[in-house]
Amino acid sequence: MVRSMFRFLFRRIALIVPTFIGVTFMAFLLIHLVPGDPIEARVGERGIAPERLAELRHEFGYDLPMWQQFFKYEVQIVKGDLGMSVVTQQSVWHEFITLFPATVELSIAAILFAMLIGLPMGVIAAVRRGSAFDYGLMGMSVTGASMPIFWWGLMMILIFSVTLGITPVSGRISDAFFVEPWSGFMLIDCYWSEDEGACSSAWSHMILPMIVLGTIPLAIIARMTRSSMLEVLNEDYVRTARAKGLSTPRVVIVHALRNALIPVVTVIGLSVSGLLGGAILTETIFSWPGVGHWLVESIARRDYPVLQGGSLLIAVLVIMVNLGVDLLYGFLNPRIRR
């Protein structure tokens, strides 16, 4: 058992190396395929003398052949150095670690929102199969899963913030509050703020972005829970439980839901990488200072080190999450370890 587990672990970790090289290569190549470079991006209408352009290109090493630039970049990464942002002159790692908690906080809130609403809805729809609620939920989940985040976000702002005035428009906290970013998680740091009301402001700022980012996972979780529950509800052991005279809530929650959750948990695990993609858009709409917003800004500025380093760190994160899911799966289901 332990040996096979280790072999499985070794195989999975060995696969990370080519994935890692592939990701760095793709990040490098795609960014370099886009016309322009960081130096041209910062030159305005004034233009730049060709000699000065050549001098700056040389200084940053952009005049080297692509393969040499890539090689230099790989060597630098192996040494653990992600480089400095061309624009801010700050280390990429420092910028990432400053902004990452905001993205994590939003993603956790979104996935919790999706689970807390999606799971009960899926269960009710399965239990009341064919009812108006079931049809309504399925219709809504198709709409939710295909919702364009950008449009959805702006609509939410327009309705709840501008027209009704019940939620803030954007940001993580009202600008009137002064919060020192100790942990980077606003919902934690706000408790140390001397300004009264900082935390209620932070929570109210979380509502709309959480709903917008959580909508797609919610729809997927609700659908997955419904179909998984429907399958389980027809199993013999559920029929046996009913025959034993157990109450419906007990049959559904204790006997059926526990077994139906296994595929749902997998879907939730896979949603993590999807959430990072969605976070890029959600952060842009709500001016949420996270890594998604940071990467979008860097594209316009052709900030190569940030784009390369940022994509790499996110890819590493997704690889780690997938590895964790695989290991957990291998642990739960011994058949896939072979």
Chain position carrying tokens 């006997």: 255
136-195 residues in contact with another protein (CB under 8 A) are: 154, 157-158, 161-162, 165, 168-172, 174-176, 178, 180-181
Beta bridge mates, 91: 84
Total binding residues toward another protein, as defined by CB under 8 A:
50
53-112 residues in contact with another protein (CB under 8 A) are: 56, 86-90, 95, 98-99
Judged by CB, which is closer to another protein: 13, or 34? 34
Q: In angstroms, give the least distance from the CB of 149 to another protein.
A: 13
Q: What is the largest distance, in Å, between two alpha-carbon atoms of the chain?
A: 87
Q: In angstroms, give the least distance from the CB of 204 to another protein.
A: 12
Judged by CB, which is closer to another protein: 175, or 236? 175
Are 180 and 295 a contacting pair, CB within 8 Å?
no
Judged by CB, which is closer to another protein: 89, or 248? 89
Are 172 and 186 a contacting pair, CB within 8 Å?
yes
φ, ψ for residue 105 (rounded to 5)? -60, -45
Tell me how far apart the alpha carbons of residues 189 and 201 are, in angstroms, rounded to a whole number: 12
Q: In angstroms, give the least distance from the CB of 190 to another protein.
A: 13
SS (H, E, C) 233-287: HCCHHHHHHHHCCCCHHHHHHHHHHHHHHHHHHHHHHHHHHHHHHHHHHHHHHCC
116-145 residues in contact with another protein (CB under 8 A) are: none
Judged by CB, which is closer to another protein: 157, or 252? 157
Judged by CB, which is closer to another protein: 18, or 50? 50
Q: Rule CB under 8 A: is residue 204 a binding residue for another protein?
A: no
Q: In angstroms, give the least distance from the CB of 118 to another protein.
A: 28
Are 131 and 246 a contacting pair, CB within 8 Å?
no
257-296 residues in contact with another protein (CB under 8 A) are: 284-287, 289, 293-294
Q: What is the CA radius of gyration of the chain?
A: 24
Which amino acid belongs to residue 117? I
Tell me how far apart the alpha carbons of residues 281 and 284 are, in angstroms, rounded to a whole number: 5
> What are 327's two structure tokens?
């290991």
Q: In angstroms, give the least distance from the CB of 251 to another protein.
A: 49
Q: In angstroms, give the least distance from the CB of 54 to another protein.
A: 13
34-53 residues in contact with another protein (CB under 8 A) are: 34-37, 40-49, 52
Q: In angstroms, give the least distance from the CB of 32 to another protein.
A: 13
Please count the residues of the chain.
338
Listed residue (237, 241, 249, 286) closest to 110, CA to CA: 286
Contact positions vs another protein (CB under 8 A): 34-37, 40-49, 52, 56, 86-90, 95, 98-99, 154, 157-158, 161-162, 165, 168-172, 174-176, 178, 180-181, 284-287, 289, 293-294, 297, 302
